[in-house]
Amino acid sequence: MKLADRLGLIPPYLFMQLRQKINKAKAEGKDVISLGVGDPVEPTPREVVEELYRAAQDPENHHYPTDEEKGMLSFRKAVAAWYLRKYGVSVDPATEVLGLIGSKEGCHHFCLAVVNPGDYVLMTDPGYPAYRSSILFAGGIPYSMPMKAENNYFPKYEDIPSDILKKTKAMFLCYPNNPTGACATKEFFAKTVEFAKSYNIAVCHDFPYSEIVFDGFRSPSILSVDGAKDVCVELNSLSKPYNMTGWRIGMALGNKDLIAGISKVKENTDSGVFNAIQFAAIKALESCDKHIQENIKIYNHRRKLVVDMLNKHGWNYTPPKGTFYLWIPTPKNMSAIEFTNFLFDECNVVVAPGSAYGQYGEGYIRISVTVQEDRLIEAVNRIDKALTKLTK
């Protein structure tokens, strides 16, 4: 069967090769530990599960979701209240909030709503791979903005050639950033809004790690900048703060026209999120802050385990302010894939090669601390031994 050309545009998934090695090792009975994926191992808060159970028993909720693709008004109101409480941002639940089946869906539908074939779309490199795929599916042309440590992982807008800017329709940003963990300042967002307005660029700020921040840092919403609602939409999600990756529920907020555009795409694609899941999400947004704090303590402790071990081997590494990822330079000028393969071959530990996130991710690996603590300790001990051998 010949499939659509657009599928051929999607770059090969770097994990595929690794996945084959992992499957082979597992088939041979090896004890493989994966630090490659950002999927919290801790369960969803009990009260959220109980609310799902309650709402799922009500036959009223067994129909197509209320207000379908938009999300129930009560869910949108809960999102608006959460944004006001967390980020000081005020939005109209009727026109400036939309329910999503996770923020990943929002990336895709943002492109379908905004990008015409041949339009350029700016994206950070390294970056979450779904941005590139979403741009390509919409017929757009991805333009990589390098994110470098020496620039605090902020793109330099002044380096983008003016002929590209003339053809640019949209932009993806993500802070706290996957994969680097870097966080934005309000000043950076203000600069972004000014830049976007002057070139008529629609900004999609992907913000699912908004609550995964450390050392008392609070992550600003791009919508807290004056004028941001003229050009920006922000995506958020219950996946990471409430350990709800499998529930598939998130939200888009911001510019009315962008929200209406994404909503129109959704109206013609899906029929929204099961009401019972939306009720459970309201419960999480309204009364589960303490779980976020517990998660942060857990991740902080786990980050320390990895960082102390690396620094013993001379890394001099400071963990980032955000996300549950560590973005670690490879040793001895090894490429990302070489170091990934080394760790897998020596200790059966899987990490994500930085080059899977774009060309500027070369020379790094990403470690996720979302595994059980005993497994992380075992992985850290194994890596410790392997590095002793490597640096001898």
Ligand X SMILES: Cc1ncc(COP(=O)(O)O)c(C=O)c1O
Site residues for ligand X per CB under 6 A: 38, 102-104, 128, 174, 178, 206, 208, 237, 239, 245, 250
Token pair belonging to 52:
């799902």
Nearer to ligand X, 40 or 65 (CB): 40
CB of 178 to ligand X, least distance (A): 4
Nearer to ligand X, 101 or 347 (CB): 101
Distance CA 218, CA 183 (A): 9
CB of 129 to ligand X, least distance (A): 9
CB of 302 to ligand X, least distance (A): 17
Distance CA 285, CA 282 (A): 5
CB of 313 to ligand X, least distance (A): 28
Say if residues 18 and 32 touch (Cβ distance below 8 Å).
Answer: no
For the chain, helix (H) and strand (E) counts, in that order, are: 13, 12
Sheet holding 364-368, edge to edge: 325-329, 364-368, 352-353
Nearer to ligand X, 214 or 325 (CB): 325
Distance CA 106, CA 234 (A): 9
Residue nearest to ligand X (CB): 102
Nearer to ligand X, 104 or 283 (CB): 104
CB of 174 to ligand X, least distance (A): 5
CB of 245 to ligand X, least distance (A): 5
Nearer to ligand X, 45 or 208 (CB): 208
Nearer to ligand X, 255 or 370 (CB): 370
The secondary structure of residue 213, as a DSSP letter, is B
Say if residues 204 and 174 touch (Cβ distance below 8 Å).
Answer: no
Say if residues 173 and 232 touch (Cβ distance below 8 Å).
Answer: no
Contacts 24+ apart (CB under 8 A), 154-161: 154/182, 154/184, 154/188, 155/122, 155/124, 157/191, 157/192, 157/195, 160/122
